[in-house]
Amino acid sequence: MKTRHLRVADIYVPVKRRGTADPKTVEALAEKILENGLDRPISVREDPVRNRVVLVSGLHRLEACIALGEDTIEAVIVSARQHRVSSRPSALKSSARDRMPPIPAFKRSWEAIPGAADQPTRRAHGAK
């Protein structure tokens, strides 16, 4: 992926993320950045409607650079589609439902268990 240096002032932090950075983490990260430089760029996405870039990941790194008085920060620009997929890693894995056998096969294996057919079935909450 291609990285760019963006002005810190031009990066929009979503309202839900503002103020969620841990000050101790920011301070420790700022010290690390002073010693070794920024080890990983932040991720941003472009918002062409509002003509801005929006922070996707790297709030602590951004806050650490701000605390150090940096004017720019290295950033990877991701598309909104990449952001949605990458922000939900569980979406990439198959769900338990995908791994379940088809209902007729499940029913046959349930009925093959001795005494299982005598057990009352449980319904989902609200099921009729």
CATH number at 42 reads 3.90.1530.10
Q: Is residue 75 part of a domain?
A: yes
Whether pLDDT at 63 is above 60: yes
102: confidence class by pLDDT, cuts 50, 70, 90: low
- Around Cβ 102, how many Cβ atoms within 10 Å? 7
Q: Which residue has the higher pLDDT, 123 or 37?
A: 37
Tokens of 118: 């005598």
Q: Is residue 124 part of a domain?
A: no
Tell whether the torsion through CA atoms of 84, 89, 90 and 94 is positive or negative: positive
Q: Is residue 53 part of a domain?
A: yes
Our count of domains for the chain comes to 1
Q: Is residue 88 part of a domain?
A: yes
85: confidence class by pLDDT, cuts 50, 70, 90: very low
Angle between helix 23-36 and helix 59-67 axes, rounded to 10 deg: 70
The predicted structure's pLDDT at residue 80: 67
Q: Is residue 125 part of a domain?
A: no
Q: Is residue 56 part of a domain?
A: yes
* Structural domain boundaries, residue 21: 3-114
Q: From edge to edge, which strands make up the β-sheet containing 3-7?
A: 3-7, 72-78, 42-47, 52-57, 11-12
Q: Is residue 57 part of a domain?
A: yes
pLDDT, tens digit (0-9, with 9 covering 90-100), for 11-23: 999 888 888 888 9
Tokens of 82: 């990449």
Please state the rounded mean pLDDT for residues 50-66: 92
- What's this model's pTM, rounded to 2 decimal places? 0.61
Whether pLDDT at 101 is above 90: no
